[in-house]
Amino acid sequence: MEPLLQPVYFGPPARRLFGVHHAPSEPALGCVLMCPPLLNEHFRSYRFFSQVASQLAGAGLACLRFDYLGTGDSDGGDDQFNPAECNLDIALAAGELRRRNEGAPLILMAIRGSALFAHRQAEDLGASALWLWQPVLDGAGYVRELEKRDRFERGSRYRYPLLRGMAAANAQDLMGFALSARFRSELSAYSIDRQPGSVRTAVLAHQEDPAMQLAADARLELPLSVTAWSDELDLASLIPLRDARDALEALVSDIPRWTTHG
């Protein structure tokens, strides 16, 4: 039987979130909460992480992918996506995933910018493991990178061949989204401590990614074909799942390692 994909809304009416639950065909060996990358990276990689979730479900792990408030299919305008409140969404999503997979140990899989939030919460949520996928380590540096990229895109002759000067945006807009005045300062306040945490951790990244220097129980190398998307705005091609299979298989080859509290 193939893993079942179930779209779901959850959370209180004032904070209604959208998610997709990937259910394994047998009772789950563990459950993986996939915290999505932010802003443009979210829709750039959406298909790929849907496929990753199905792959994990095929190995017996239930997965829930969700959208933060004000992003993707969740309720709220773009200006309601505030980094300081992402912990609320992660907690709601963890609760929803646990409700659907009672008793299954929780693994947090945090992708790119979400790593900034999830690594702080893993212990509080009682997660048995934290998987960091191409994690952003420094929120302030990330905001600066996004600002630089935003200016580049708005002035790009490739993007705007017929426009003189830069495309005009509002002061709070960033990477195509009409964000709140709080967004940049809130995201800048986050960073990842390079010291080992109490939750068993795996890092998945390109070998030259500084994240591979993090203290971790496992470091799984991803080829450039699987990591380059984080620097791409246009969806010119799909991210090849086949190139991530080795890393994913390594991850699920010893599920008890990640589902048993250390």
Task: Please check whether residue 68 is in contact with residue 180, taking contact to mean a CB–CB distance below 8 angstroms.
Answer: no
Q: How far apart are CA 206 and CA 141, in angstroms?
A: 19
Interacting residue with other proteins among 178, 181, 224, 228 (CB under 8 A): 178
Smallest distance, Å, CB 219 to other proteins?
30
Question: Out of 100, 154, 206, 257, which residue is the one contacting other proteins (CB under 8 A)?
Answer: 154
| 232 near other proteins, judged by CB under 8 A | no
Give the x-and-dash track for 26-65 against other proteins (CB under 8 A): --------------x--x--xx--x---------------
Pairing of strands 129-133, 173-174: unpaired
Say which residue the tokens 């993986």 belong to: 32
- Contact indicator for 38, 113 with CB cutoff of 8 Å: yes
| Binding span for other proteins by CB under 8 A among 70-78, 89-97, 103-111, 137-145 | 70-78
Exposed/middle/buried for residue 70 (C-beta within 10 Å: 0-12, 13-18, 19+): buried
- Report if residue 159 touches other proteins, rule: CB under 8 A: yes
- Is 215:202 a contact under the CB 8 Å cutoff? no
- Per CB under 8 A, which region of 67-75, 123-131, 212-220, 249-257 contacts other proteins? 67-75
How far apart are alpha carbons 208 and 213 in whole angstroms? 9
The binding site for other proteins (CB under 8 A) comprises: 5, 7, 9, 16, 18, 20, 40, 43, 46-47, 50, 71-73, 75, 77-78, 153-154, 159-164, 167-170, 173, 176-178, 233-235, 237-238
